[in-house]
Structure 1
Amino acid sequence: MSRRGLLLGATALGGSALLSACGAEKAPLVGPPPVAPPNSPTPLTDAVTVQKMRSAARNREVNLVIIAPDRVSRVGMPVCVALHGRGADARTFLDLGVQDALNKAVAAGLPAFAVAAVDGDNYWVDVGKGDDPQRMLTAELPGWLAQRQLRPPTAMFGISMGGFGALRYAREHKDLKAVAVASAALFLSWPDAKSRKVFADREQWESHEPLLHTGELSASSTGVWCGNADPFARADRKLIKALDPVVAKMTPGEHNDDYWRGIMPEVLQFVGERIS
């Protein structure tokens, strides 16, 4: 893709998903409203690339976004996969301060690593619609990274719906060195999950719901961040209580880009200390 094409792609970046409150209100989550392009598009350099890839697992083209520190060769770099929230796509990570946080981590002495993001949906699981994001992550993404001389994924980071997907992925990939989730969209009950109009039935939801499978997760490699005013705060507190992760941060904040930008340096520091 040309540099002009990349810049145009960056200006099309949308916002994060809006969330309705959990608990008593059971309205489904919706995608983001139309937003104006940023006043100055995210700079795209050789360290940051956006490409379209054909995913057989998802039966569509997806964005593949790779963000690496500046002035460092990407060859042989370890990779943390970043999973976006509902209504967004992989390009959302271009606008959340990821590269700046990577640059500062490297400047502080951490080994360089890359963040790779792809498009997902349906809480990053197979819900019987001929669209299997987990299979894409397992069977296709490592090959796409190898084509770009990057290592297979050894860490996961997920925001909102992506937190659900990252924890689901971690259940099947015990060798991950770090799993970080921010504002993880987890569900305390079947009526709550059903209201999202994603899962076919209760059995399907229960097979995927991270809160029902915390015994399959590694506390020593997991970090959880969530704002106290986040509609998923209650569910994330339950995750923290059940898993006792090595990092558990419930701090002031809501379910929005400002919160995720604010914690990004800490999240990537957590990943960087473990990924190499």
Structure 2
Amino acid sequence: MSSRRAFLAGGLGVAVPAVAGVLTGVLPDGPALRRFLGLTGPAGEIPRVTPGPSTVERVSSVARGRTLDLVITRPPGAPTDLPVCLALHGRGVGARWFLDLGVPQFLAAAALPFAVVAVDGGSSYFVAATPGDDPQRMLARELPGWLAERDLPAPSAVLGISMGAFGALSLARTRRDLRAVAVAAPALFTTWAEASGRDAFASQRQWAEEEPLRHTDALAGTPLGIWCGTEDPFVDAARTLAARTRPALAAVTSGAHDEDYFRRVLPDMLAFVGEHVTAPPKPGGGG
């Protein structure tokens, strides 16, 4: 008998109010139990459509001191002069991850009129945690040139998932001309104790300088979309982000911190970006 079935069979004598309390998160480990029971919502599915062209190229980054993957995905039959949305990946993966998540198919299925560009950002939350490796400088100084060489403009929107959400919000602090910022399962930290366990920041001072939750005023005026699952360990940080900003959209629904959830919300994230990058700019910028 599987551990899940054994739990269900053995737990029939548990008082119903106690079980209900755990499942709704009132008692400790409610989200963990829902994950164990598979009560985290349906898995997102990649649509069965013919995707547009995607390219994977190797580019040399002086800022990061290494050669990186540059992934560009366009919708089918689109012109070359498309708006660009930068996609920032999670920790432990790279730019090609967005191909695995189904971005080419999601773009094609929705006929969204923009390109998605991803580039390897390392594992330090897109901050310069070690000498000679500066992902932010790469995004600000080198990426626009790589795109210009390929007849694409600088990104006008950014989306990020998990660690990539940290990077997207950090980029939005300096790129006030962004038309949209979309983040899912944002890996943000309310305290240094939480952040230090990631072994991704050079010091507490660097974390405090970079942590998006400490600089939410810099996001004012930029259309922001936030998605997070109720079983995600970062859900409290996502709620804090929503409370401290005025997001155009905030959706906290059942879901864990996994690719099933990421694929479920990616269509909504891309639609949010498409709505803003194709709309006429408002007076004074900010989308």
Aligned to 2:187: 185
Residue 239 of structure 2 corresponds to residue 234 of structure 1:
no
> Cα 1:201–1:147, aligned 2, differ >3 Å: closer, same or farther?
same
Alignment partners' CA distance in 2, 1:143 and 1:259: 33
Residue 56 of structure 2 corresponds to residue 50 of structure 1:
yes
Which of residues 50, 73, 95 in structure 2 aligns to 1:67?
73
The runs of at least 4 aligned residues of structure 1 exceeding 4 Å deviation read: 42-46
Give 3-state SS (helix, strand or coil) of 1:57's partner. Answer: coil
**Residue identity opposite 1:218 in structure 2:** A
Q: TM-score, normalised by structure 2?
A: 0.77
What displacement does 1:45 show? 7.4
* Contact kept? 2:70, 2:119, Cα under 8 Å: yes
Residue 86 of structure 2 corresponds to residue 81 of structure 1:
yes
Give 3-state SS (helix, strand or coil) of 2:125's partner. Answer: helix
> Cα 1:99–1:236, aligned 2, differ >3 Å: closer, same or farther?
same
Give 3-state SS (helix, strand or coil) of 1:103's partner. Answer: helix
Aligned to 1:3: none
Aligned to 2:196: 194
Alignment partners' CA distance in 1, 2:131 and 2:77: 42
Give 3-state SS (helix, strand or coil) of 1:123's partner. Answer: coil
Aligned to 2:168: 166
Q: TM-score, normalised by structure 1?
A: 0.80
Residue 110 of structure 2 corresponds to residue 105 of structure 1:
yes
* Contact kept? 1:66, 1:117, Cα under 8 Å: yes
Give 3-state SS (helix, strand or coil) of 1:153's partner. Answer: coil
Which of residues 225, 228, 244 in structure 1 aligns to 2:227?
225
* Contact kept? 1:219, 1:246, Cα under 8 Å: no
* Contact kept? 1:157, 1:166, Cα under 8 Å: yes
> Cα 1:54–1:220, aligned 2, differ >3 Å: closer, same or farther?
closer
* Contact kept? 2:49, 2:108, Cα under 8 Å: no
* Contact kept? 2:50, 2:105, Cα under 8 Å: no
Alignment partners' CA distance in 1, 2:197 and 2:206: 14
CA-to-aligned-CA distance 1:125-155 (integer Å, 9 cap, x gap):
1124310001111101111111111111100
Identity %: 50
What displacement does 1:50 show? 0.3
> Cα 1:103–1:45, aligned 2, differ >3 Å: closer, same or farther?
closer
Structure 2 stretches lacking a partner, 5+ long: 1-28, 30-47, 279-287
Which of residues 157, 160, 178 in structure 1 aligns to 2:159?
157
Alignment partners' CA distance in 1, 2:159 and 2:198: 22
Give 3-state SS (helix, strand or coil) of 1:82's partner. Answer: strand
What displacement does 1:44 show? 10
**Residue identity opposite 1:65 in structure 2:** V
Aligned pair count reads 231
**Residue identity opposite 1:54 in structure 2:** S
Aligned to 1:37: none
Structure 1 stretches lacking a partner, 5+ long: 1-23, 25-41
